[in-house]
Structure 1
Amino acid sequence: MAHMGDLVAEMLARYGVELVFGMPGGQTTALHDGISRRTDRIRHVLMRDERNAAYAADAYARLTGKPGVCDVTVGPGANLLPAGFIEALNASIPMIGIVGELPLDWLTLKDKGIASQGFDQLSFFKTITKDSWLVPSVTALPEMIRTAFRVATSPRPGPVALIIPHDVFDAEWDETLVKIGVDERAIRAPFVRSAPVGSAVSEAIALIRRAKRPAVVFGGGVHGAGAIAEAGDFAARLSGLAVTSLTGRGAVAETLPYAAGTLNPLGSWAAIELIKEADLVIWCGSKASQNTAMNWTLPLPEQATITIDCDPNEHGRTFQPTVALFGDVREALSLLNASLEQQHNHDWLSRIAAVKEEGEAQKREEIRSDRLPINPPRVMAELAARLGEDDIVVSDASFSAGWIANFLPVRKAGRGFLYARGQGGLGYSVPAAVGAAETRPGSRIVTVAGDGAFSYTVGELATQAQRNQRVVNIVLNNGRLGWIQLWQEIFFKNVQSALLESQSCQPNFAGAAAALGLKGFFVETPDQIGPALDAAFAHDGPSVVEIRVDDLATPIHSFKRRMREGGDSPRPRPGTVYKLRDWKQSPTLLG
């Protein structure tokens, strides 16, 4: 007898969902039964923790453009989803959470867990999703699934929660009464596309033509719109500086002469220096967030600006653009490319080349270091030499993002680097690698995490081992929460709350990996890095390469400067370190 779990599984399969990540519960077993009948089209990946199901689904969504689907049971399963949902919400990643619930006629008993595991899930999810719904009946379910896909994939994409009561899941599915169908437009984001008005496009073209030192900042919206080809064409025509946010990496290859890497306090020194010299900054699929806008010091008052975004609320959030192109990134770039002839800014390109070379010289100096504990750039250079163009790199939060951005160049346009920057929470890389490996089973996945981040989700190594995934997990172990420890030492001196080990206890992640069924490698000296990476890359399965690194090493340029200068640094006062600059209007004419 078919049940409503069959209906959900069938609709997911018809929407092109090949993978569902999650943790079963009694209230959602009907879904798992429905998936088990359709394994030729859809499979379930069992995670060790519900929060990690959202991270795995996030990686699937970033690599496919389809909504990542995760399933959890009522109560303790549901309340672990926020970390992944907020990441997806802030990063505009399409995601659908299928959430179990108490039977409909038990809902008055949900308060205080009177009915086991019950709480007000709908109100809870409304705060961390684009939208959330409680399915009120069997007959409403198909339309609510269609709504979930439409909202998750519509501009701007994001996560939604569909809360399905136990009795609805288990009810008989009478296919003659409850019909199903899918809206094929919502199989992949974006659900619809719009184009900016012609007058705004003309104004943007005129502004670009007048610019002597143009720059474009590509954000994650380029990937969300599937606009890699158009971004590459535009950057080439612009004849100016091309930089990206962390999530925008891969919009263009960083080997191009005008591409200067990642604009971020822990990103490319050259990008940070050069963007200040631009007379026009084009923010393309980038929300000009705190980090990409360098604590909102960008754009500078004298810089003209163009914003390209499908979300009308992004045009003027922190500055008034000279020209706002409201519409889909791919459509907007296509219109610009159709009207923009090849620009020629030879002096600006020469300046870009000179500053880039200065930055590369600085990096070469860091890479050459033989000091002990190991300098992380030395590790990254060895890793870069072994990465293939089609390998996927998954970054965890904190310093790992900076080491990757600075020392693992993007050699091929496309989304080959996954960053958790919507919320920037620790613990993303290992579960996201599970999702990436299941999505791209023929690719090698490489994660980079500090020991603090790696500790969050070390249990998902068992998932990698169980599924024999080709994942190389790099752990940069400095025995600290590196960012926090340096912050405490620079500004507060003797605080010691960020230490992760003691003389009597030093966690061995390589050993833990071996105990969980992976290959484990421990590296203490520079000469051991290459052989360990070679062995890990040659292994047909998951591995962990734990590398003991310098606890004072940092990719953050301002931290480096403070440490070189030494002396006491003034303690930051609330509202001064990350103070939003006065809202400002960009100039309409260039100097």
Structure 2
Amino acid sequence: MTTPRQHIGDLVSEMLAQYGVTKVFGMPGGQTTALHDGISRRTDRIRHILMRDERNAAYAADAYARLTGRPGVCDVTVGPGANLLPAGFLEALNASIPMIGIIGELPLDWLSLKEKGIASQGFDQLAFFKTCSKEAFLVPSVEALPDLIRAAFRIATSPRPGPVALIIPHDIFDAEWDEETLPIVVDDRAKQIPFVRATAPGPEIDKAIALIQKAKRPAIVYGGGVHGAAAAAEATEFADRLGGLVVTSLSGKGSVPETRDYAAGVLNPLGSWAAIELIQEADLVIWCGSKVSQNTGMNWTLPKPDQATITIDSDPMEHGRTFRPTVPLFGDVREILRSLTAALGDSLAGSRPDWAARIAEIKAEGDAAKAIEMASDQVPVLPPRIMREIAARLEENDIVVSDASFSAGWISGYIPAKKAERQFLFARGQGGLGYAVPGAIGAAATRPDARIVTVAGDGAFSYTIGELATQAQYNQRVVNVVINNGKLGWIQLWQEIYFGNVQSANLESQGSTPGYAAAAAGLGLLGIYVEKPDEIGPALDRAFAHDGPSVVEVRIDDRATPIHSFKRRMKEQNAKPRPRPGTVYKLRQYKISPDL
């Protein structure tokens, strides 16, 4: 029996395996078959997960990266495969998620034939990926490939992490590989984020400590950078000793256990009412691993002019993008939190009883309002009732994957993070619909020991319903919860509130009601349809006990929203839309924060 010849697909798959990559998500093509051939000979270390859509391969790789800290790897072929990746690449770029896309390409000497697809499927892929990647490379030769793979891992994992496109021409992929003349060398430092760590200078730490000690009402906003730095334990220890308020962004959920007295939930227009109210009263806000985006910054009304600020971030560009911090601490989140905790000395917990009492008061008020929603027996169902039932069934290591739009608000506000760890995945880099189902595939492939639960509206679920076939093929332990209101809920309410009941967001018409549970059953999953509150628990019990993927579809109230401003406006208008001539957008004001 002859030994199969070694080709460049073997080199690439061997380097991936040596970098610790255990899963590759994607769609094969003729130009990338050498890669799949190489992976097929190394299944003891690395496996390929076949997706139904290349865009979803990036989302699955994104979830893998969030849960492991290692670069998520996806593969696509030239042309129609490549042009579907940017949605997932932009999510990873904006959310600082390490990712490597292996992208097929026409042979190198076909350069003049790429234009307008003269050579089948050709276009300028390098220029295309330069717009949506941290970096993009077109491999010019066999000899250059190993170093470009090392560069891809180094760039993807270094501050600030992000996606790297590695475009490999067909003739290079199919070329023979001689291990003696082209040996493999990997940089094991770049297997996981962050590639390097640094901390802020001692004098700057001292300035921050002085602000903290002077503050009467300190608060911390923890962002996704806490998880990116694997710093949830340090974030919790620092918060325990600070004796102040803690809120998080959506991506930062789980930076501290939300069972702590000081934890007020997610700061976001669709997040926690208590977080929104309390952060206004802080006299010092520590922004840690947060880019203070439009949503976490509450449309950049935060920080307030009278609030002192400390920023902690490994990206120098974040120390002054929307406001000038009182004290910027440039460096790795984990290392700076350790330095602050050590410099703080004695714990300040209990030293601000008035602030602690105020936090408890506002949290109790918010919790009382949420308790009424979660206990509701209303038909159609209110989503908080569904979230209560999900939360009651989650085990310690289970993972919750949110889709965009209202789902993020229902999860963040009504399912608490019980421990300091990334167990909630939110696609907030782009906030695009369609993340949950493919994200669950990546999560389940990464954590087969855990139950994965997704929550998506019917609009978001429609984007990637075909990937249920992937969940079924790999018999993944995924419970997909579809909250079906027959509409693109956010857009429908926006149209009603601001434009007078425009009707372009309906997903159903008379006599046509898509059945997502039935569609799931047709694809080989367990499908359950629910209309009444008392049916939710038994349906979830069946789904959680099922050995494989399932879909639980719940019909919900189409007026339900987690957005506090929408609730207020609908109450003011007595649930009747009031036309407005348009929305006025104010230019955000750059703020200089004070010294306490």
Relative to the length of structure 2, the TM-score reads 0.98
1:395 and 2:399 matched: no
Partner of 2:452: 445
1:196-211 alignment to 2 at 5 Å?
196-211=200-215
Partner of 1:317: 321
Conserved 8 A contact 1:296-1:580 = no
Distance 1:570 1:337, change over 3 A: farther
User: 1:274 is matched with which residue: 278, 285, 303?
Assistant: 278
1:241-390 alignment to 2 at 5 Å?
241-340=245-344, 341-343=346-348, 344-390=351-397
Conserved 8 A contact 1:58-1:68 = yes
Distance 1:572 1:319, change over 3 A: farther
Question: Which letter maps to 2:246?
Answer: A
Question: 2: CA distance between counterparts of 1:177 and 1:468?
Answer: 42
Conserved 8 A contact 1:391-1:444 = yes
CA offsets 1:222-262 (integer angstroms, 9 cap, x no match): 00001111101110111000000000000000000000000
Q: Report deviation, 1:412.
A: 1.1
Partner of 1:178: 182
Q: Report deviation, 1:143.
A: 0.2
Question: 2: CA distance between counterparts of 1:248 and 1:261?
Answer: 10
Question: Which letter maps to 1:272?
Answer: I
Question: 1: CA distance between counterparts of 2:136 and 2:559?
Answer: 44
Question: 1: CA distance between counterparts of 2:588 and 2:471?
Answer: 45
Conserved 8 A contact 2:496-2:578 = no
Question: 1: CA distance between counterparts of 2:80 and 2:447?
Answer: 30
Partner of 1:232: 236
Question: 2: CA distance between counterparts of 1:93 and 1:63?
Answer: 10
Moved over 6 A (4+): none
Q: Report deviation, 1:370.
A: 1.8
CA offsets 1:55-95 (integer angstroms, 9 cap, x no match): 00000000000000000000000000011000000000000
Question: 1: CA distance between counterparts of 2:366 and 2:236?
Answer: 23
Question: 1: CA distance between counterparts of 2:282 and 2:208?
Answer: 16
Question: Which letter maps to 2:508?
Answer: E
Partner of 1:494: 501
SS of the residue aligned with 1:385? helix
Q: Report deviation, 1:457.
A: 0.1
Partner of 1:571: 580
Question: Which letter maps to 2:447?
Answer: R
Question: Which letter maps to 1:449?
Answer: A
Question: 2: CA distance between counterparts of 1:570 and 1:266?
Answer: 23
Partner of 1:543: 550
Question: Which letter maps to 2:563?
Answer: I
1:454 and 2:461 matched: yes
Q: Report deviation, 1:177.
A: 1.3
Question: 2: CA distance between counterparts of 1:430 and 1:342?
Answer: 43
Conserved 8 A contact 1:249-1:417 = yes
Q: Could you say what the CA RMSD is over the residues aligned between the two structures, in angstroms?
A: 0.9
Question: 2: CA distance between counterparts of 1:61 and 1:439?
Answer: 9
Q: Report deviation, 1:134.
A: 0.2
Partner of 1:10: 14
1:89-104 alignment to 2 at 5 Å?
89-104=93-108
SS of the residue aligned with 2:181? coil
Partner of 1:75: 79
Conserved 8 A contact 1:251-1:414 = yes
Conserved 8 A contact 2:499-2:582 = no
User: 1:419 is matched with which residue: 408, 411, 426?
Assistant: 426
Question: 2: CA distance between counterparts of 1:318 and 1:161?
Answer: 30
Question: Which letter maps to 2:427?
Answer: A
User: 2:127 is matched with which residue: 117, 123, 137?
Assistant: 123
Flag structure 2 segments of 5+ consecutive residues without an equivalent.
Answer: none
Q: State the number of aligned residues.
A: 587
Conserved 8 A contact 2:385-2:533 = yes
Question: 2: CA distance between counterparts of 1:370 and 1:532?
Answer: 16
Q: Report deviation, 1:494.
A: 2.9
Conserved 8 A contact 2:499-2:581 = no
SS of the residue aligned with 1:139? coil
Conserved 8 A contact 1:263-1:292 = yes
Partner of 1:478: 485
Conserved 8 A contact 2:93-2:133 = yes
Question: 2: CA distance between counterparts of 1:338 and 1:387?
Answer: 35
Q: Report deviation, 1:389.
A: 2.0
CA offsets 1:22-44 (integer angstroms, 9 cap, x no match): 00000000000000000000000
Partner of 1:111: 115
Question: Which letter maps to 1:311?
Answer: D
Q: Report deviation, 1:374.
A: 0.7
Question: 2: CA distance between counterparts of 1:569 and 1:303?
Answer: 36
Conserved 8 A contact 2:498-2:582 = no
Partner of 2:528: 521
SS of the residue aligned with 1:405? helix
Q: Report deviation, 1:414.
A: 0.1
Q: Report deviation, 1:580.
A: 4.2
Identity of aligned pairs, percent?
74
Partner of 1:86: 90
* Most deviating of 542-551 and 341-350: 341-350
Q: Report deviation, 1:365.
A: 1.4
Question: Which letter maps to 1:210?
Answer: K
Q: Report deviation, 1:217.
A: 0.2
Question: 1: CA distance between counterparts of 2:112 and 2:589?
Answer: 49
Conserved 8 A contact 1:216-1:281 = yes
Q: Report deviation, 1:176.
A: 1.6
Conserved 8 A contact 1:295-1:580 = no
Q: Report deviation, 1:403.
A: 0.3
Question: 1: CA distance between counterparts of 2:328 and 2:399?
Answer: 34
Question: 1: CA distance between counterparts of 2:424 and 2:543?
Answer: 20
Question: Which letter maps to 1:548?
Answer: R
SS of the residue aligned with 1:459? helix
SS of the residue aligned with 2:291? coil
Partner of 1:430: 437
Flag structure 1 segments of 5+ consecutive residues without an equivalent.
Answer: none
SS of the residue aligned with 1:501? coil
SS of the residue aligned with 2:393? coil
Q: Report deviation, 1:390.
A: 1.1
